[in-house]
Amino acid sequence: MKRMAIVLAAGQGKRMKSKLYKVLHPVCGKPMVGHVVDTVKQVNCERSIVIVGHGAEAVQSYLGEAAEYVLQEQQLGTGHAVKQAKALLGSEEGSTIVICGDTPLVTAETLQGLTQLHESNNAAATVLVAYTDQPQGYGRVIRSEDGSVLRIVEQKDCTPEEDAVREINTGTYVFDNAKLFAALEKVTNNNVQQEYYLTDVIGILVGEGETVLGYVTDDYAESIGVNDRRALSEAEGLMRERINIRHMLNGVTIIDPASTYIGADVTIGADSVIYPGTVLKGKTVIGEDCVIGPQSDISDSVIGDGVTIKHSVLDQAEVGSRTSVGPYAYLRPKSKLGEDVKIGDFVEVKNATIDNGSKVSHLSYVGDATVGKNVNVGCGAITVNYDGYNKFMTEIEDDAFIGSNVNLVAPVKVGKGAYVVAGSTITQSVPENDLAIARKRQENKPGYAEKIRSKAKAKKESKQQV
């Protein structure tokens, strides 16, 4: 049976008190609407229609070709919102999931169970429901004696008896597509809010003798709709716990989950260890047998197997297997390290490739450069890549040795096996196996240090007398 999805993402979200459109607020590094669209795709929805309103361009810019879009120019209720998709889906046959774009905690497993129950019973509609001792703010699910769903009553329209019901509507449904759009034509706005409720479709279908079922989620968190910053924080904590558990069950050791942040799209290999204070974001991929942290911040980077990273920041970097980084290193975008590389303390790398077996052990900057195999870059050495207007490349070939406090003024090339003496400022290329030295020969002036001290002392005493 064909499956489709309608994602409701047109609300302004005034309670967020933010310039950012509500469904674009991130939960564990991914905008809420991104979580929802990815989830419906996991249950084989062939088409995803996102209903947009406020902030439509921003939502479309983020999701791109992952969905189709319909504009709800006036926000007149959930039923009105779903009806906007009629031009795209009205003639389709199959099952249609309707879900809110601010419910990032709904899982693919739950949606799969929901749709399977719906389709196996040939139901007209199936509602995702949950039980809670604090149902305030949610629509109540009213069932018949045989357990089928009779209607859903919004909080503001509840009688005292209905208000006491603890079974709530999560706002996620599956409908027979043709019956959904037929029933929407009969929905009115005769209610306290004067809105067209999608929940009224349930009562209409029941009145026509159709089967309406309820599917109970075991995880109340899936009912959470994020409407303000407090709910956003709650969703963030629940999602982070869920992500950490998934990684641990897959063979990753997380020393202190409470102090570890892992984004929704991060991949980690088995037998890797994540120490406290570590933040892993974006599309980061970490291999097996790695040791990450403590206090490391890694974004959109690819890390090989057996890598150690301590107290360091990586942004859009690539690190080969068995390489060590840190403590206190910074790999900026387009940094690419080979295998068995050592990047030590207070080293910064930017737009540079450092090949297998090379070392930049401490207090150095390598930017806009290519470094070959088995190169040693000494303490305090830098590539001087910027003249105030343009960036230039430095090339260091295999087996070269760069001494401490060397300045390589780009564009410049150090040949294979060449040796650059400590303290040199190199402005011309160094041929293969040559030794380069660019500093004045040392001269010692006997007793001159004492003359300098005496002169300074006399100057200070003169100022004090004045």
Strand 167-176 vs strand 313-315: parallel, antiparallel, or unpaired?
unpaired
Is position 227 annotated in a ligand binding site?
Answer: yes
Is position 336 annotated in a ligand binding site?
Answer: no
Is position 58 annotated in a ligand binding site?
Answer: no
Q: Residue 190 burial by CB count (10 A; 0-12/13-18/19+): exposed, middle or buried?
A: exposed
Is position 449 annotated in a ligand binding site?
Answer: no
Considering 35, 118, 247, 362, which one is annotated as catalytic? 362
Is position 139 annotated in a ligand binding site?
Answer: yes
Which runs of consecutive H residues, i.e. helices, occur in 15-146? 32-42, 56-63, 78-83, 86-89, 108-120
Is position 48 annotated in a ligand binding site?
Answer: no
Q: Is 311 a catalytic residue?
A: no
CA 192 to chain centre: 40
Q: Which amino acid is at 54?
A: H
Is position 157 annotated in a ligand binding site?
Answer: no
CB crowding 144-157: b at 16 or more within 10 Å, else e: eeeeebebbbbeeb
Is position 10 annotated in a ligand binding site?
Answer: yes
Identify the sign of the CA torsion 77, 82, 86, 87: positive
Is position 357 annotated in a ligand binding site?
Answer: no
Cα distance between residue 230 and residue 385, in whole Å: 46
Give φ, ψ of 132 to 5 degrees: -150, 150
Is position 443 annotated in a ligand binding site?
Answer: no
Is position 418 annotated in a ligand binding site?
Answer: no
Is position 38 annotated in a ligand binding site?
Answer: no
Please give the order of strands across the beta sheet that includes 291-292. 253-254, 273-274, 291-292, 308-309, 324-325, 342-345, 359-362, 376-377, 401-402, 419-420, 435-436
Is position 404 annotated in a ligand binding site?
Answer: yes
Is position 11 annotated in a ligand binding site?
Answer: yes
For 320-377, give the DSSP string. Answer: -TT-EE-SS-EE-TT-EE-TT-EEEET-EEEEEEE-TT-EEEES-EEEEEEE-TT-EE
Q: What are the residues whose beta carbons fall under 8 Å from the beta carbon of 110, sequence distance 6 or more?
A: 128, 215, 217, 219, 222
Is position 144 annotated in a ligand binding site?
Answer: no
Is position 169 annotated in a ligand binding site?
Answer: yes
Q: Which residues are catalytic?
A: 362
Binding region for Mg(2+): 102, 227
Binding region for UDP-N-acetyl-alpha-D-glucosamine: 8-11, 22, 72, 77-78, 139, 154, 169, 227, 332, 350, 365, 376
Binding region: 8-11, 22, 72, 77-78, 102, 139, 154, 169, 227, 332, 350, 365, 376, 385-386, 404, 422, 439
